[in-house]
Amino acid sequence: MYKVIIGLEVHCQLKTNSKNFSSAKNTFSEKPNTDVSPADLGHPGTLPYPNKDAVYKALKTSLALNCNVPDEVIFDRKNYFYPDLPKGYQITQITKPMGKSGYLMVRVGDDIKRVDIHQLHLEEDTASLEHFPNFSLLDYNRSGIPLIEIVTEPCIYSADEAVAFLETLRNVFLYCGVSNADSKKGQMRCDVNISVMKDTDTEFGTKVEMKNINAFTTVRNSIEYEIKRQIEVLESGGKVVQETRRYSDEDGKTHTMREKVDAIDYKYYLDPNIPPVLLSEEYISDIKKDIPMLEFDRINKYINDYELSLYDSTILAKDRSVADYFEKVLDFGVDPKLSANWIITVILGSLNKLKVGIDDFFINPKMLSDVIKLVSNGELSQNHAKTILYKAMDTLKNPLEIIQEQGLKQIDDSNKLRPYVIDSINENNDVLMEYLEGKDYVANFFIGKVMAKTNRQANPKVTLEIIKEELEKRRGENEKK
Ligand code: ADP
Ligand code: MG
């Protein structure tokens, strides 16, 4: 048997107004070379100016991932030449990264796994290259965008674990508001390092690196392919070569890009143009206060404190705005299970249909809590409450106002309901005949009729009781004849 060892290096672009060391805009623009400053092009005489917001967001992510943060912010130069790096060096961190020795708790199906974080550092993104058959083009818009790199320990043991980690990590970025982490825009990308070893081996096998994978499905596919390939190599008596491979969606295989020679010497040194900035304890503790309760902990809370299922808790905690909305509804004193049901069935469904986010949704937590309370008091039926909520979405009127205007509360009084029942029976003689012939189930037919007559206000349970009474009465009369 073989064991699989995976370590990930995740890059994530931070959401800031300007770039990491220049005042050019940090945007995802379709038009190449429009958001560029001389510093991003490495022009001589330009100086880097660190972006305070990028530093803040990098530290925030680092603390959210339970890392140790440094006592000062300093940057290093990593020297190499490549067309996408006009300065000839990348400003990054090696001496004192923004975070060290952290971890992230991850749900993998029903299991819980701890993924250890080796380090998190802040650097600048490179320009992007687009290759054509006979030439390549450079877009410097990406050059200098703040980028954090998160390196895990080799502690991930399957494709499922890798993907679950990436999804949980992406949610940390979103919860903390540090990045949109849209992999389609290349805002979140990852390098996958993978090796296999025999159960009985004491040392890791030789690792292969797959660079710059955006989509999580590609992470999964490339890992699954590599596991098979590496085991086949070993089984046939060969050796896995340490190299960089590229996964191709076209054939579902990985292909050699370059063999890894000895480690490249980047001649790192402190960037002399960026003075160190000391981090006060107060500053760090302010950032800590700014970190919301994250998805993993909210799911635990919903299960343990509110007795929700893992399934429901996961749906609610997936999106921070939805989780916040849910918790606000609870603040108005609504039962957690009821609240969860209403949000999952009615609210999320409507958001989907209307294509709006919950923060822009007309039905706010107060309105929803008012309606749910009327249902739990028995003043409003479930169906009725739904009708009112949908009406409120259509008309942009407060649900309570609609209830007041239309007197739409549920009718439970049997004296009020009986005339509707009698009318419904009289108007549908053919159905009555079927009942008299012994088809008891047709009683349900009359509920719909009464609902229509009462604008769906009738209490269905009471209505059915009256219907049965009235039908039995007629059966008795019929038998006497
Ligand atoms: P390198 O010096 O080759 O860049 P590092 O030690 O810096 O390697 O690790 C880079 C990434 O590779 C990390 O995410 C680490 O967890 C992972 N890694 C290291 N060794 C292995 C291995 N034998 N198998 C799989 N992943 C590994
Ligand atoms: Mg490395």
The tens digit of pLDDT for each residue in 104-118 reads 999 999 999 999 999
Q: Looking at ligand 1, which residue's alpha carbon is closest to its atom 3?
A: 263
When comparing pLDDT for 188 and 379, which is higher? 188
Q: Over the stretch 140-179, which tens digit does the pLDDT of each residue have?
A: 999 999 999 999 999 999 999 999 999 999 999 999 999 9
260 pLDDT more than 80 = no
* Ordered domains of the chain (ranges, CATH): 2-283 (no CATH), 293-406 (no CATH), 414-480 (1.10.10.410)
Query: How many Å lie between the centroid of ligand 1 and the Cα of residue 376?
Result: 56
Nearest CA to ligand 1 atom 2: 263
Do 182 and 42 touch, CB atoms closer than 8 A?
no
Quote the DSSP letter at residue 346.
Answer: I
Q: Of the bound ligands, which one is closest to the alpha carbon of residue 153?
A: 1
Compute how many other C-beta atoms are within 10 angstroms of the C-beta atom of residue 384.
26
Instruction: State yes or no: pLDDT of 348 exceeds 80.
Output: yes
Average pLDDT, integer, range 230-248: 94
pTM: 0.86
Q: How confident is the model at residue 454 (pLDDT cuts 50, 70, 90)?
A: confident
Q: Where are the alpha helices (DSSP H) in 15-68?
A: 52-64
By CB neighbour count within 10 A (0-12 exposed, 13-18 middle, 19+ buried), where does 391 fall? middle
To test the ligand 1 pocket, which listed residue (165, 191, 207) has its Cβ within 8 A of the most ligand atoms? Answer: 207
pLDDT band at 129 (very low <50, low <70, confident <90, very high): very high
Distance CA 311, CA 259 (A): 45
Q: How high is the pLDDT of residue 408? A: 59
Mean per-residue pLDDT over the chain, rounded: 94
pLDDT per residue over 384-439, tens digit each?
A: 899 899 999 999 999 999 988 876 567 888 888 999 999 999 999 999 999 998 89
Token pair 């909520």 is found at 389
Query: Which pLDDT score is estimated for 411?
Result: 81
CA 153 – CA 114 distance, rounded (Å): 11
CA of 195 to the centre of ligand 1 (A): 9
**Mean local confidence (pLDDT), 277-290:** 98
Task: Note the pLDDT of residue 261.
Answer: 66
Backbone CA torsion sign across 219, 220, 224, 227: positive
Q: Give the ligand whose atoms come closest to the C-alpha of residue 7.
A: 1
Ligand 1 pocket (Cβ < 6 Å) reads 5-9, 151-154, 193-195, 204, 207, 263
What pLDDT was estimated at residue 378?
74
pLDDT of residue 476: 87
Q: Please say whether the beta carbons of 208 and 231 come within 8 A.
A: no
